Amino acid sequence: MTNQETHHREVSDSSAPDASDVQRLLIIGCVFAIVGGYTDAYSYLAHGHVFANGQTGNVVFFGVFASGGDWGQAVRHLPPIAAFIAGVAIANLVGVRSQKREFRATLICQVFELTVLLLLIAAGKFLPDAWIVPIISFVAAIQNSSLNVIGAWSFNSAMTTGNLRTATGGLVLWLLNRNPDDNRGKAITLGLVCLSFLVGAVAGGVYTRLDENHALVPCTAAVGVGIILTWRERKRRLSGRANHARV
């Protein structure tokens, strides 16, 4: 093997995520899955039974109300869908995917989400439901687009259907002893993300019922924790890359 081939192999191996990388990303992913479940429960309970993140639910509600001729109720579920689409589109236009390894764009998106949630805490009581839910949908889409991979597995922090499907598939294949190492990791990782989303939904439901006016405060705190963890991961990766370059 030539020196050039050896160097290329070393670079490739250094960029591959190891177990500690996956564990740290899993923690960050679980934090934002909690945020996703929390904001969906909050928007549904506090703002007219409209989902902020679960666009499948909004599509179903639109279809159910439209089929009964209740267009006033049906159209209430369209703005969150449009806002979510816009959030995904903007995240891709600003090049989030191409900058994920350094987490710079991910941090920018997370700070933007935190800023929006803080503004909603301060001014949300003066805004109609028709504005609040789409705003949350927009930042949820950006949150999910900026961080949607843990190791080799894609996940969704804003909703849980795909995570549940992937976790279940991994569990079944693991029990059948088919590629057990990969499928065990897939089942556990995506299972924990699903559990985190559920924890967030329960917390969001409980706190919204207790104090609707300040219900976003715990959610904002969770986003702050996620930002700190992401910043630490970015700093660690940049430091590791700098050390590798010196070698």
What does the block give as tokens for 233?
């991961």
pLDDT higher than 80, residue 197: yes
3-class state of residue 217 by DSSP: helix
pLDDT tens digits, one per residue of 42-72: 999 998 888 888 888 889 999 999 999 999 8
Place of tokens 């070393």: 10
pLDDT averaged over the chain?
Answer: 86
Residue 205 in contact with residue 218, Cβ under 8 Å? no
Residue 58 CB coordination number (10 Å): 22
Residue 145 in contact with residue 91, Cβ under 8 Å? yes
pLDDT higher than 70, residue 18: yes
pLDDT tens digits, one per residue of 89-134: 887 777 665 445 567 788 888 999 999 999 999 988 888 888 899 9
**Of 103 and 233, the one with more pLDDT:** 233
What does the block give as tokens for 141?
């889409």
Domain 24-246: state its class. mainly alpha
In the DSSP assignment, the letter for residue 127 is: S
pLDDT band at 7 (very low <50, low <70, confident <90, very high): very low
pLDDT higher than 50, residue 163: yes
Choose among 234, 26, 46, 53: nearest CA to 143: 53
In the DSSP assignment, the letter for residue 53 is: S
> Which is it for the CA torsion 71, 76, 82, 88, positive or negative?
negative
pLDDT band at 5 (very low <50, low <70, confident <90, very high): very low
In the DSSP assignment, the letter for residue 16 is: S
- The residue ranges of every structural domain in the chain are 24-246
The DSSP result for 143-192, as a single string, is HHHHS-EETTEE--SS--HHHHHHHHHHHHHHHTTSSHHHHHHHHHHHHH
Choose among 96, 118, 98: nearest CA to 108: 96
Q: What pLDDT is attached to residue 20?
A: 83
